[in-house]
Chains A and B, each alone.
Chain A
């Protein structure tokens, strides 16, 4: 199937780590992406990982990929109130570059 699934809501305290999870179904996925959407804005590309990698770190962001379980996660260290947004995971499939399959988005609420 085409589904990319995410939990809908996550609430954390400022300074804690946030972990947003995503599962996908297509084993032919080549790249997996994380996008951030702030209120009133479009989707901003945060980071991505190639399917032959299992981890990628970029400053406060860590992406983990378990290809066997088709599970992707985004960890945000030292979460700040400015990180409050909707986070979308998306997959790109082999031979289908540019057409991304998106999850329904996880709303991250950061409490002071």
Chain B
């Protein structure tokens, strides 16, 4: 496995369900990110973890709960979501500390909240 892998690729959940999105990076990076991509909106940065510590939380509702158990894995726990939370959720990783730290993205999880 190389790059950034996300599971599941598609998820349909009701508003009362609890589910988790998983991300794994095989690039040896030390930072991981969750982005939300909705139709006709710019990419929204949700959370940033650097060296397994959450360094940014962009006013994301508490129904989204991230977890970073180690530098290779990132989860997004979901509960009591709203239909407007339907979107493509993208995970990314980067190597912090260098001058050039591009993000490497996974293929995303397409979430539909019914």
Contacts and interface: CB of A to CB of B under 8 A. Distances in A.
A45 interface: yes
Interface in A56-112: 88, 90, 92, 97-100, 102-105
Contact of A98 (B42, B101, B108): B101
A33 B102 contact: yes
Contact of B42 (A35, A42, A103): A103
Interface stretch (B12-20, B61-69, B72-80, B90-98): B90-98
Given A42-B90, A42-B108, A100 B99 contact: no
B43 interface: yes
A42 B107 contact: yes
Contact of B106 (A35, A42, A90, A98): A42
Contacts of B11: none
A97 B48 contact: no
Is the contact region of chain A dominated by helix, strand, or loop, or is it mixed?
strand
A107 B42 CA distance: 13
B107 A45 contact: no
B103 A48 contact: no
B105 interface: yes
Contacts of A104: 41-42
A35 to B, nearest CB: 8
Given A99-B48, A99-B56, A45 B104 contact: yes
Contacts of A45: 102-104
Interface of A: 30-31, 33, 35, 40-45, 48, 50, 88, 90, 92, 97-100, 102-105
Interface of B: 4, 6, 31, 33, 41-43, 45, 48, 50, 56, 90, 92, 94, 96-108, 110
What 9 pairs across the A-B complex have the smallest Cβ distances? A42-B105, A97-B101, A43-B105, A98-B94, A102-B43, A42-B107, A98-B101, A104-B42, A42-B108
